[in-house]
Amino acid sequence: MTPALQEAAMQNCDFFAFCTSLKRPELRAIGELSWVRHMGKGEVLYYPGDPGNALYIVNRGLLEVGPEKNGQSNHTFYLSRGDVIGDIEVFSESPRTRLVRAHEEASLQCFPSANFPQLVRVVPSFFRYLCEQMAGRLLKARELAVEQHNAMELSGRISTFDLTTIHQTVINSRQTGELSIKDESSETIGAFYFEAGRLSAGQFQHLTGDEAFWQLFLIETLSGTFSFSATEQPLTNWIQSARITEVSSDPLIVALQYRDEFYALKSEMDPGPAKLTPRAAALHWNGGAPEHLASLAKQVWGVVSRKPGTINEVYRQCSACEFKVYQVVHELLRTEQIALA
């Protein structure tokens, strides 16, 4: 890989994207000098005061990171696939300051500090990658703190502040207002309304409510800008009726779960530009098919029956996020009710 491509991969926040820049001996060293830890739901990774003798990278699942013991930060946030945790303490040789546990079943890649000397020798770019991630988090925290302190409108480029950070910042501020998402042409493609820090309404692309919020996190190449404005009423008229109905789960947690599962399913299916065409005379959604997707399956079947199209074209005519559309298509392909032509 050229130095320019390796530089771009290292700047990507995803550890697995960085790994694509490594040579085979370097990848083998990463595997030999680390180990995988599997965690059940609710299992604690470490407590405040525990020794900082290893750093971790999330392979699968969600980690819940609690408030700091010293009180400098009193909010909880979540980490998902590719995120790094424990690096600050391991490099500063200081005790843990937060309680970290698995919000759901998870697997982590563990890098003990005892193996660092050999890692530095064999894979020096790994430590440059870690330094860039720490520096990026510090810059985000500093800029967000300055904007909140000065009571300024929260705004910036999506490439600078990832969606999880933006959402959690608004939630922790407990403000009422609208978060606007614009593309590179400054056209509004999404808007989400918060009431006292709680997500209550939204629209993204052609979707509304919960489905709009989940779809926002499924876009792999989302670019553009965001801005949050404190206001007692939505600034964008078309989101006033697009209410968020999810009350049993944190919408962010569901969005991150959907994102991980969607990437895996999309990689497995890889339909590309092929068109979906019906093979059966009528839809049969029963047996092992997920019941909660029954109404969406009828939508997908109706679209494909009228005119064969790519999975992206089908999604554009459905009222659910891409992950659910892919789930339905996967089931219909499995049961040979549709085919890729």
Segment among 3-12, 172-181, 261-270 with least mean pLDDT: 3-12
Q: How far apart are CA 227 and CA 153, in angstroms?
A: 7
User: What pLDDT digit, counting tens, does each position of 37-91 carry?
Assistant: 999 999 999 999 999 999 999 988 888 888 776 555 556 778 888 888 998 888 8
Q: How far apart are CA 233 and CA 243, in angstroms?
A: 13
Read off the pLDDT band of 4 (50, 70, 90): very low
Q: How far apart are CA 219 and CA 280, in angstroms?
A: 32
Q: How far apart are CA 6 and CA 207, in angstroms?
A: 36
Q: Is the distance from CB of 241 to CB of 282 less than 8 angstroms?
A: no
* Residue 243 clears pLDDT 80, i.e. is over it: no
pLDDT score, position 3: 40
pLDDT score, position 7: 40
Per-residue pLDDT, averaged over 143-154, amounts to 51
Enter the pTM of the model: 0.64
Which residue(s) pair with 226 in the sheet?
Answer: 156, 181
Three-state DSSP state, 201: strand
